[in-house]
């Protein structure tokens, strides 16, 4: 029975990991850009939610506000700085975005101090659901449902709309899109802002579960990369499958071999790299 509970708990974890990773996957898939500042945008989303709720905004107002602010900041950074290095090798992407992540982290410490904080779950979602011996927080159930709906919307947006077709066209053949009269630089800026905004949203959603502290972005980045590498760089479905897989493995391992729960995630990633270099669902 405990394993069933751990699988259910792992699904909850996995949906959060998916949301964390999908923005990174979108940015890499469409822009071929390695964004090591992704965890910092997650951090920023969490802290903005913390700050806005401290100022009296409800969580329901703070969550979209934080997401939009992070997306706006990221779009501005892309337009001012990052678009200049797209054509350079990935090592330059890593150098610049790691530096950017450190700057954001230190700015968070300056703005909110080195101590962390707690964000209460919204009214109506502060209780727990009890099913036999299984207890699960209502807010975590909400995040599963919310992320599932969001996953569907994202898929529809990227695969089923004209806007999605323009974005994909901008990534695959920027010159043709330019000939058709589209401003590919603006498309790239919008895609980067969108991907970072998803990280901000993940931070906002995670804040009532994890609280906030200045170094939470580092852990989030490592989980996001594991999910993206296992799922396949740039694969939307891969991020969903890998997110769930990582969440379930981590959760079940806390019962089977607790001290190795985290290790198993990285071993899994190493195994996928060795046997399927493009990930489970990565594009050739």
Residues making contact with other proteins (CB under 8 A): 1-2, 5-6, 9-10, 12-13, 106, 109-118, 120-121, 127-128, 130, 133-137, 139-140, 208-211, 213-216, 219, 250-255, 258-259, 261-263
> Least distance (Å) from other proteins to the CB of residue 17?
10
Nearer to other proteins, 1 or 179 (CB): 1
> Least distance (Å) from other proteins to the CB of residue 147?
15
Q: Can you tell me the distance from the alpha carbon of 71 to that of 14, in angstroms, rounded to the nearest whole number?
A: 23
> Least distance (Å) from other proteins to the CB of residue 110?
5
Task: State how far Cα 237 lies from the chain centre.
Answer: 14
> Least distance (Å) from other proteins to the CB of residue 282?
26
> Least distance (Å) from other proteins to the CB of residue 130?
8
CB 281 within 8 A of CB 227: no
Nearer to other proteins, 26 or 202 (CB): 202
Phi, psi (degrees; rounded to nearest 5) at 12? -60, -45
Nearer to other proteins, 12 or 231 (CB): 12
Of 193, 155, 190, nearest to 37 (Cα)? 193
> Least distance (Å) from other proteins to the CB of residue 198?
20
Nearer to other proteins, 80 or 111 (CB): 111
How many of the other CB atoms lie within 10 Å of CB of 115?
A: 9
> Least distance (Å) from other proteins to the CB of residue 274?
23
Nearer to other proteins, 167 or 221 (CB): 221
Nearer to other proteins, 117 or 169 (CB): 117
Q: Which two tokens stand for residue 41?
A: 């945008």
Q: Can you tell me the distance from the alpha carbon of 128 to that of 138, in angstroms, rounded to the nearest whole number?
A: 5
> Least distance (Å) from other proteins to the CB of residue 209?
7
Q: Can you tell me the distance from the alpha carbon of 137 to that of 127, in angstroms, rounded to the nearest whole number?
A: 6
Nearer to other proteins, 190 or 205 (CB): 205
Nearer to other proteins, 262 or 278 (CB): 262
């Amino acid at each position: 029975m405990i394993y069933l509970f751990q699988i259910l708990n792992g699904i909850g974890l996995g949906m959060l990991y998916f949301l964390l990773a999908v923005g990174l996957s979108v940015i890499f898939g469409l822009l071929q850009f390695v964004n090591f500042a992704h965890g910092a945008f997650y951090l920023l989303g969490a802290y903005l939610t913390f700050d806005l709720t401290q100022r009296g905004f409800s969580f329901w107002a703070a969550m979209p506000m934080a997401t939009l602010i992070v997306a706006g900041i990221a779009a501005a950074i892309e337009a001012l700085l990052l678009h200049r290095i797209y054509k350079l090798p990935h090592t330059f992407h890593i150098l610049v975005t790691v530096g950017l992540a450190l700057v954001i982290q230190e700015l968070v410490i300056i703005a909110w101090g080195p101590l962390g904080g707690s964000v209460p779950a919204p009214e109506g979602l502060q209780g727990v659901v009890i099913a036999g011996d299984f207890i699960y927080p209502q807010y975590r159930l909400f995040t599963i449902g919310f992320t599932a709906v969001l996953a569907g919307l994202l898929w529809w947006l990227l695969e089923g709309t004209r806007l999605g077709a323009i974005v994909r066209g901008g990534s695959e053949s920027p010159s043709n899109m330019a000939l058709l009269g589209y401003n590919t630089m603006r498309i790239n800026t919008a895609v980067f802002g969108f991907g970072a905004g998803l990280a901000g949203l993940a931070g906002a959603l995670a804040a009532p579960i994890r609280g906030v502290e200045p170094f939470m972005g580092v852990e989030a980045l490592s989980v996001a990369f594991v999910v993206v590498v296992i799922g396949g760089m740039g694969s939307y479905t891969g991020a969903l499958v890998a997110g769930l897989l990582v969440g379930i493995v981590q959760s079940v391992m806390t019962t089977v071999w607790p001290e190795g729960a985290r290790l198993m995630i990285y071993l899994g990633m190493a195994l996928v790299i060795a046997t399927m270099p493009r990930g489970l669902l990565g594009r050739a």
